[in-house]
Structure formats: C-alpha cells, structure tokens
Structure 1
Amino acid sequence: MLVIPAIDLKDGQAVRLFKGDYQQKTVYSDHPEELAQTFEEAGAKFLHVVDLDGAKDGQAKNLETIKKIRKQTSMKIELGGGIRDLKTVQLYLEEVGIDRVILGTAALEDPEFLKTALKRYGSEKIVVGVDVKNGFVSTAGWLETSQTPYLEFIQFLEKIGVQYIVATDISKDGTLMGPNFDMYDQIAKTSSIQFVVSGGIKDFDNIKKVAEKGYYACIVGKAYYEKKVDLKETIQCLQNV
C-alpha cells in the first residue's frame, strides 16, 4: 500500500482546511518545497499536492510554488485543484513534469474533456477526485454539491476507463476523526477501481486498517502535521503491505 503525504497550497503556503472550509485554515509552512524534501527523506514515493486556490477559481494559482516543489523532489507527484481544460493538463504533465493530475469538477461537468484527457495521456496520468458530501459528488473546491450520487459517478468512471480515483469524505477531511470506512467498503463492493483513501486519517491504526483491507493507498495530511503519525516509521511498516 502507498502512504501518500499531502501538501495543500493556499497563497503559496502549505495549509490544512477543516472540512474544506476556506475560513478555517491552519498554516504549516511558508516553504512547501522544504516539506516535500522532508517527506522524501521519510521514504515517501508519492506526494499529493492540491492547489486550493485553483480548486476554487479554476486557475493555476499556485503554479510557481508547484514548480519549486517539482524541482526539490524526485518523488512522483499527483496534483489536483482547478485543472479544467487540456491546456492546464498539458502544462502540468508536459512542462512542469507532474506525474499525474487529478480532475475533479471538470470530470463531473465535462465528461468529454475527461475522455479526451484519458485518450491522450492514459489512465496512469489522469486520476479523478471524487469528493463526497452527504452521499453526493461535490465540486468547485467543495463549495458546491451536485445531484450525482458518488457510487453512480464511480461506476461511470470505471466504465470509461479511469483506473485511479482519490475518494474523500468532506465531512471527515482535516478532522482527525478517522476515515469513513463504510464509504470505502461500498466503493470496493461495487467497483474494481483503485482508490486512494483521503480524509480523516488520525493515527497509525487507521493507516494499518486501510492496508489490511487491501486498498491501493491512503493520504496522510493533518495527522502528520499535528504529529499524530510518524511518517518514516509508518512507511517502513506499511509501504509494501
């Protein structure tokens, strides 16, 4: 199982939001690229980066900071937030050197764009973020909620060739309350898609449970920043489980 540390960017800083609320943020670093180095030194193979400003506004707002992170680490990077057209996909994958991009709002609202991106870049580089609020898919940096049930959306994604998703229960994100394992069990029962558990991880036992269930990966964010998880120790124990 992959243990993937997360860096959420807002105004060039590494922050964490509480349940996706832009008004409830905690700043953890003014130099996110240095955080990335720390994660790599701990043994992480993949880094999860989200442009929160981009997610809200649909533009590459933290591009310069993302470039710095890319230059400072040899980890593979998955990046989400505001990627809503092929020009931005091309920018990140071909020019910046991001390993895979996460499409969220655009994947739901413009499925033809998603299909085109998949055809051009392949399912290893095009990941979909499935952000769930009260059972429905959320968009626009979690500020809007659609009428699409998350399981229905995931089944559609699998049908068109998506192999990887990042699934987040927004009500758990940044809370240190533990993931919504009921939601992930439902995904596993109804789909063979590979998913990243995102939101709510509070301690090593949570991460171990994800590994024991045989899920593809989990994201560790606030639990690391609040020193609830020793990333190096966790990766040594679970990275290859």
Structure 2
Amino acid sequence: MILFPAIDLKDGQCVRLKLGDMAQATTFNESPADQARQFEQQGFEYLHVVDLNGAFAGQSVNGAAVEAILDTVSFPVQLGGGIRTLEHIEGWLEKGLARVILGTVAVRDPALVKEAARRFPGQVAVGIDARGGMVAVEGWAETSSLDVIELAKRFEGAGVAAIIYTDIDRDGILTGINWEATLALAQSVSIPVIASGGLASMDDIRTLTQPEYAILEGAISGRALYDGRIDSREALALIKAARSGR
C-alpha cells in the first residue's frame, strides 16, 4: 500500500484543480521541485506528477518543471499528461522517470499502450479518468462512450504496471474517494489499481488501511495534504502499521 502525494503542474507551478477545471486552479507552490523535496523529506516513497497543460496540448508542456523535480529528489516519480507517443515515453524514461501514465492514448490507441508496456516492463501505467462512470479524455475536456471497466479489461495480460483511477466528480473537492467504484474496478482486473480523486481526511486513510482495500496498490492525495486535512506523518504511520499487520 502506497500513499502517493500529487503535484499537478500548470504554467510551471504546483496547483490543484477543482473538478478538473483549469479555471479553478489554486497555486500551492511556485516551485514544484521544492514541493517534491518537501514530500520526500516527509517520508513519502513515491511521487505522482501530472502535466495539466500537457494533457490538453497533447504533448509535454511543463517538461522543465518535471526535469527539475527529477534532479531534486531520489524517490521514484510517475508522470502523466500529454504523453502520447513511444518517443515521448522513451524520452521520459531515459530522463529518470520510474513510470509514465498513459490516459488519452489508452482510449485512442490501445495498441500503442500495449507495445509500450512490452518494451518498457513495469514502467507503463494507464490513467483512467471517469465522469459519471464513463471515461474522460483530452485533459478531462471530453467524455467518451467507454465504461471504465470495459477500458481496463482491454489491457489485461498486456504487462501494464498499474491503473490510476480518478473519479473526476470528486477530484479536488474533498468529498472522499469513490470507494465502491474503485473496488469494483480492482476486483474486475488483475492489474494493480491506484485510487485517485477526493481523498479528503484521515478517515479516508484509515479506510484505505482496512483489509478489504489491500487489493489496491495505493491512493493519491493532493489538496488534503496541501491544506493539512491529512497529516503526512500520521498517514504514513498508519499505512506502515497496516503493511506490517499491526
């Protein structure tokens, strides 16, 4: 079980959105690299980064900020947003990313995702973002006709390292993870699932450490970490205790 702190990049800064709306962005740190350093010093083991501008543009936009993060920290970093070609994937992995997250391209070109997973074992994840249970693409600007589980099952046996599942209707508004939908997804595929969108409080962390949620690889937390609703030291201690069976 891993608790991933999130850094969302917009115009070179560390922000959080509300309901995936770029117009509703709150800046939490003008230096993403400094924020990443803080997370590492707090004891987190893995960092989740999203290039928000890149997700809309279809190519990396905040590359300099991501590279600054990679130059600053030693813990593994996964990145999503605007990564849509094998060249993009290979380029980022060569720069030191532990894992790339493919979202829009997983809907548009699933064969590319499978080829990437074959070429780069353990380093390719699929990001599935949903609005009303249907998959959203292009930086959440468009909703497809694909059901979440239907899309996930396309990648069974392809070597995908993880699925990051985000409920857009809960993202950034601190209403709690959509546990029911997340568990339903995790139980439907053999690919490890990471919960995202809405992690709101220490109660959510306690829920995450219950035995029935051990099926998940972990969860991503953004706004609740930044505004202090989740205490990083306490959260990490709870997860460590759950891992050891105490």
Q: If the TM-score is normalised by the length of the shorter chain, which range does it land in?
A: over 0.9
Q: Secondary structure at the match of 2:100?
A: strand
Deviation for aligned residue 1:135: 1.2
2:111 matched to 1:112?
A: yes
Partner SS state of residue 158, structure 1: coil
TM-score (norm 1): 0.96
After superposition, residues 120-131 of structure 1 pair within 5 angstroms as 120-122=119-121, 124-131=122-129
Q: Distance between the aligned counterparts of 2:29 and 2:238, measured in 1?
A: 27
Between Structure 1 and Structure 2, how many residues are aligned? 239
1:206 aligns with 2:204: yes
Rounded to whole Å, the distance in 1 between the matches of 2:222 and 2:200 is 9
Q: What CA distance in whole angstroms lies between the structure 2 residues aligned with 1:157 and 1:234?
A: 32
Q: How do 1:95-174 and structure 2 match up within 5 A?
A: 96-122=95-121, 124-174=122-172
Structure number with the bigger relative contact order (C-alpha 8 A, sep ≥ 6) is: 1
- Counterpart in the other structure of 1:235: 236
Describe the SS at the equivalent of 1:157: coil
| Distance (whole Å) between structure 2 residues aligned to residue 148 and residue 161 of structure 1 | 21
Consecutive unaligned residues in structure 2, runs of 5 or more: none
One-letter identity of the residue aligned with 1:65: A
Identity of aligned residues (%): 39
8 Å Cα contact 2:168-2:197 kept in structure 1: yes
* Shift, 1:208, TM fit: 1.9
CA distance in 2, matches of 1:188, 1:92: 28
CA RMSD of aligned residues (A): 1.1
Give the Å deviation of 1:119: 1.2
Amino acid at match of 1:66: V
Show the counterpart of 1:61: 61
Which residue in 1 is equivalent to 2:41? 41
Unaligned runs of 5+ in 1: none
Extract structure 1 runs of 4+ deviating beyond 4 A. none
Aligned to 1:183: 181
What is the CA–CA distance in structure 1 between the aligned matches of 2:61 and 2:188, rounded to whole Å?
36
Instruction: Compute the TM-score of the two structures, normalised by the length of structure 2.
Output: 0.94
Residue aligned with 2:74, SS: coil
Aligned-partner Cα distance in 2 for 1:197–1:189: 13
1:104 corresponds to which letter in structure 2?
G
CA distance in 1, matches of 2:93, 2:159: 19
